Amino acid sequence: MTESSSLSAAERNAWQVVSSLDEIAASRRVATVLFGEPITVAREDGAAVARRADGAAMPTIERYGYVWASVGAPEGDLFPLPEFAEPDRRNLHGATIGVRVSAPRAIENFLDMGHFPFVHTGILGEEPHTEVKDYDVEVSAERDEVLATGCLFYQPMAAASAKAGIEVEYVYRVPHPFCSVLYKSSPAAPGRQDVIALFLQPVGEEQVRAHMLLSLIDDVSSDADLRNFQQTIFAQDKPILENQVPKRLPLDPRAETPIRADKSAIAYRRWLSAKGVGYGVIPARG
Ligand SMILES: [Fe+2]
């Protein structure tokens, strides 16, 4: 029995990211793993196609610079990301990084501002600016996503384009159990927001490929500068992620003592429970 036969409908019938378009352009045929099963991704007659080990084609789409496939029968399109189509944005594949952690744990870390001064010191935070101020969290029934707004944090170097420290406003969306989209004040364009999306490919229950999309307003920095900035941040997160105990995200509200700053993480856990997501989590009992 393959691992994906025991998936819940929430995972089986969803789109999952399996490759960047950059990666299939560079290696022609990408051999990778989704839900513990080996798959391949390649361009066939112009369109990206993911195939299982037995050669069967899976439902496959290309969105936002990535290939998404499903081991089941997806009913709708992937979540919307309208900023990707704005003509003055730089859309860039930031990196694909293998991490030994569950996808939900990686999302939880992405949502957490409390670690900025200690893990991303001098970049996304610094002492004494350690307070996570209160912010709003809602679960939008209409869009079926977790939304955290009004998250304010002082950052010494908020982006590659930053010239000085600024108080940055964050908005987080979690529009997919294993994907999160972050909007943050753009140092290069006051009043607008840079977009950084984390698309997690569930390789196994405790292993992901983390794909990072950058959709930025920045006419100055080189592609390499933009990638280096994001890869530096992610390299700081990787050992933290891999040392999480347990590696799967406990969904029982009593499992880990919540503090106020964890409001978005608590909403995320509840949303996963309500959706019946079982992959990479420790389900709540009873
Ligand atoms: Fe981080």
Q: What is the pLDDT of residues 169-204, one digit of tens each?
A: 999 999 999 999 999 999 888 889 999 999 999 999
Do residues 50 and 39 make contact, with C-beta atoms less than 8 angstroms apart? yes
Confidence of residue 100 (pLDDT cuts 50, 70, 90): very high
Measured in angstroms, how far is the CA atom of residue 47 from the centroid of ligand 1? 35
User: Which protein residues have their CB within 5 A of the ion that is ligand 1?
Assistant: 237
Q: Which residue has the tokens 């100055």?
A: 220
Give the model's pLDDT for residue 62.
98
Helices 223-242, 103-111: axis angle to 10 degrees equals 110
Q: Please give the distance, rounded to the nearest whole angstrom, from the Cα atom of residue 154 to the centre of ligand 1.
A: 15
How much distance in Å is there from the Cα of 172 to the middle of ligand 1?
14
CA dihedral 255, 259, 137, 86 (to 10 degrees): -100
pLDDT of residue 260: 63
CA of 193 relative to ligand 1 center, distance in Å = 19
pLDDT digits (tens, 9 = 90+) for 13-52: 999 999 999 999 998 899 999 999 999 999 999 999 999 9
Give the Å distance between the CA of 235 and the centre of ligand 1. Answer: 9
User: What pLDDT digit, counting tens, does each position of 112-132 carry?
Assistant: 999 999 999 999 999 999 988
Q: How far is the CA of 156 from the centre of ligand 1 (A)?
A: 15
The pLDDT value recorded for residue 1 is 41
Rounded distance from Cα 24 to ligand 1 centre (Å): 28
Average pLDDT score, the chain: 93
Residue 53 pLDDT greater than 80, yes or no: yes
